[in-house]
């Protein structure tokens, strides 16, 4: 199956055609091989009774670029083309999506074939050295990604407490796979309290890459967005947020010290352990407390000491 939109030769922005890069403004042709990720299997409950249980897929998808194998990702397979596109973007292997002619996913071969327009593939990139990250399903970071990372320092925009609360309220309606079967992480891209896109996958890095791919192909800026994830705010997640241009990360989980230190260096605000009206804000001098709940009596002396 082939997507009818966006076609491969549509211009993102006609004014960008003046660039010396002949491929800037073009979009890749993508197949549309997304899979239904939830299945029912026989099981028994704690009473010994037969029942049907929902489970999610976990499938290998090997990415080849102009015939050269790059990496194998474990994924639900719901949006594989965007996952591949976002992975390539967040590994800084391409400057813009127009450099990619097509992405063809074939589940029978568990393969995503990426064809570039110039046919040079991965020439000039050091893809031999990989860092295995803490991501579910084991994420990877290429050495060439780290080389370009500090080109993506972000300015910190004003962030309101009420925006954080609105994000937490809205994302609850989007975790379909988790409610049905568990075993997944969810990520959402939000703006002005609205959830623009939400993706679930077996690893938070996959879900983040898929959203990154969607943003990339739509030429969508991240500077005024908030990124929500159910997973830990590790160094890998902070890196990808900076590469996507998104200055705020919100998670119901915590952060690591490396994730925090990198957030400070790259200008990313972390809102960790965010549930209901509670959160822990780090690197958050830009946060305006416009909806603070009453401070409990036992914490008031601590508040005064901090001030």
- Which candidate, 136, 241, 236, 233, places its Cα nearest to that of 190? 241
pLDDT score, position 183? 75
What are the sequence ranges of the domains in the chain? 14-38+51-149, 159-288
pLDDT averaged over 10-residue windows placed end to end, the chain, 307 residues: 37 46 91 90 86 88 94 92 96 93 97 96 72 50 61 87 95 80 87 93 92 96 96 91 95 92 94 92 94 84 52
Using an 8 Å Cβ cutoff, are 154 and 162 in contact?
no
What are phi and psi for residue 173, nearest 5 degrees?
-90, 5
| CATH hierarchy code of domain 159-288 | 3.40.140.10
- Single pTM value for the model: 0.83
Say what the pLDDT of residue 207 is. Answer: 94
Backbone φ, ψ for residue 160 (5° rounding)? -100, 145
Residue 292 in tokens: 């603070």
Give me the pLDDT at residue 11, please: 38
Alpha-carbon separation of residue 116 from 84, 95, 200, 225, 288 (angstroms) = 13, 12, 28, 30, 45
User: What's the CA angle centered on 154, arms 79 and 275, to 5 degrees?
Assistant: 60
């Amino acid at each position: 199956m082939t997507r009818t939109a966006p076609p491969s030769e549509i211009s993102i922005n006609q004014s960008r055609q003046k660039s010396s890069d002949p491929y800037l403004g073009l979009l890749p042709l993508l197949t549309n091989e997304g899979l239904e990720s939830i299945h029912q299997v026989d099981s028994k409950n704690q009473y010994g009774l037969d029942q049907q249980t929902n489970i999610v897929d976990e499938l290998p998808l090997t990415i080849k670029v102009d015939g050269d194998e790059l990496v194998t990702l474990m994924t639900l397979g719901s949006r594989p083309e965007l996952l591949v596109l976002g992975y390539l973007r967040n590994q800084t292997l391409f400057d813009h999506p127009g450099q990619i002619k097509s992405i063809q996913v074939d589940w029978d071969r568990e393969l995503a074939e990426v064809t570039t327009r110039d046919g040079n593939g991965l020439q000039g990139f050091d893809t031999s050295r990989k860092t295995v990250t803490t991501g579910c399903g084991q994420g990877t970071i290429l050495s060439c990604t780290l080389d370009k990372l500090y080109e993506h320092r972000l300015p910190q925009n004003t962030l309101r407490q009420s925006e954080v609360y609105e994000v937490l309220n809205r994302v609850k309606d989007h975790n379909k796979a988790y409610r049905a079967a568990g075993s997944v992480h969810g990520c959402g891209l939000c703006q002005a309290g609205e959830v623009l896109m939400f993706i679930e996958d077996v690893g938070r890095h996959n879900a983040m890459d898929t959203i990154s791919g969607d943003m990339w192909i739509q030429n969508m800026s991240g500077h005024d967005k908030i990124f929500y994830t159910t997973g830990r705010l590790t160094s890998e997640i902070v890196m990808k947020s900076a590469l996507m241009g998104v200055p705020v990360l919100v998670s119901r989980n915590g952060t690591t010290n490396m994730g925090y230190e990198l957030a400070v260096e790259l200008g990313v605000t972390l809102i960790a352990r965010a549930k209901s009206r509670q959160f822990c804000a780090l690197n958050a001098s830009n946060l305006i407390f416009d909806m603070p709940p009453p401070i409990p009596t036992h914490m008031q002396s601590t508040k005064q000491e901090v001030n």
